[in-house]
Amino acid sequence: MRNDRRRLVLIALPFVLAIGAASVALAARSAPAAAKVSVTEREYRITVAKTLKAGTTSLVVSNRGKLTHALDISGPGVAKKTTGMIAPGKSKTLTVTLKNGTYKLWCPVPGHAALGMKATVKVGGGSSSAGSSGGSSGGSGSSWA
């Protein structure tokens, strides 16, 4: 009896491990690596990084103001997406795919953009500088000494 149960566990264990590993791999594959960028809104301005990287980006928009706000974004490949209204103290996430270019962000609540709730964000631009600054270190002639 006791031996049988132990044997059963020994037989089942590799299967459990295999299933576990497979589900981990699936989870890793299905989750797109979206960069998270925080955006803060209050009366009457929008705080966000001036430059962002191209790719799938989750804008985490926090309303730190006392009024209801929202965030609209429009630019290359993004034909106006909106978070919808965000109550004071709340936040919403808006996922967009950014391409190189300039994006406009603003609060669509009437009057708010005119009062200053708008921002411009640049994506990409001069990204391909990697590799050019190598300095061709031949190795042999260390002239610093």
Q: Which is nearer to Cu ion, 98 or 107 (CB)?
A: 107
CB-based contacts of 33, cutoff 8 Å, min separation 6: 56
Q: Which is nearer to Cu ion, 107 or 119 (CB)?
A: 107
Cα separation, 96 vs 59, whole angstroms: 8
Min separation Cβ 75 and Cu ion, Å: 19
Phi then psi for residue 25, to 5 deg, are -65, -40
Min separation Cβ 107 and Cu ion, Å: 3
Q: Which is nearer to Cu ion, 6 or 66 (CB)?
A: 66
Residues in contact with Cu ion by CB under 5 A are 69, 107, 109, 112, 117
Min separation Cβ 118 and Cu ion, Å: 10
Q: Is the dihedral of CA 40, 45, 47, 52 positive or negative?
A: positive
Min separation Cβ 45 and Cu ion, Å: 9
Q: Which is nearer to Cu ion, 94 or 123 (CB)?
A: 94
93 contacts 59 by C-beta, under 8 angstroms? yes
Phi then psi for residue 29, to 5 deg, are -75, -40
